[in-house]
A = this chain, B = another copy of it.
Amino acid sequence: MRKIGVVDTTFARVNMGAIAVDELRRMGTGFTVIRRTVPGIKDLPVECKILLEGGCDIVMALGMPGPKPIDKQCAHEASMGLIMAQLMTGKHIIEVFVHEDEARDERELAWLAERRTREHARNAYWMLFEPEKLVRMAGTGQRQGFEDVGPLMGGGYRH
């Protein structure tokens, strides 16, 4: 039985962890979910590493950085930590960060947080169970949250 970790924060303004668990369960069975919550995004890296070393095959790291410069810096630090945690464990962490200034208002922000979380939950599922599906989607301009942008027009090379 595979194990998927889901870690979110009390700082976020949407229950991203619950959304991720819901979407993962819609994708399929054959795995258990371990859920954890930490105060802020800088607490995510070590918590993800603890889960990966505790048997999780992949972990989703969910957070909502604020709009100020110091928040951007925290997000950068958290991202670097998540990359290091992956390199130390040899397993993937799917980072799902929704920045407050990506949306025009609170309603759109809530919508964006849910949609990006759900789309990345599908990525996590595919990475674990159907990695060849991602190869078929290579270079197709996928986005998580807002609309996909699609492949470039004018690209001469087709597979």
Contacts and interface: CB of A to CB of B under 8 A. Distances in A.
Q: Which of A87, A127, A140, A156 has the most CB of B within 10 A?
A: A87
Contacts of A47: 92
Contact of A154 (B45, B80, B107, B137): B107
Interface residues of A, number: 83
A3 interface: no
Nearest to A8: B138
A15 B109 CA distance: 31
Interface in A116-159: 120, 123, 127, 131, 134-135, 137-144, 149-159
Contact of A157 (B15, B39, B77, B81): B15
Contact of A87 (B22, B81, B131): B81
A13 to B, nearest CB: 4
Given A79-B77, A156-B114, A127 B16 contact: no
16 contacts: A10-B134, A10-B137, A10-B142, A13-B139, A13-B150, A17-B138, A19-B157, A37-B137, A39-B127, A78-B83, A80-B83, A81-B87, A110-B152, A110-B155, A113-B152, A114-B156
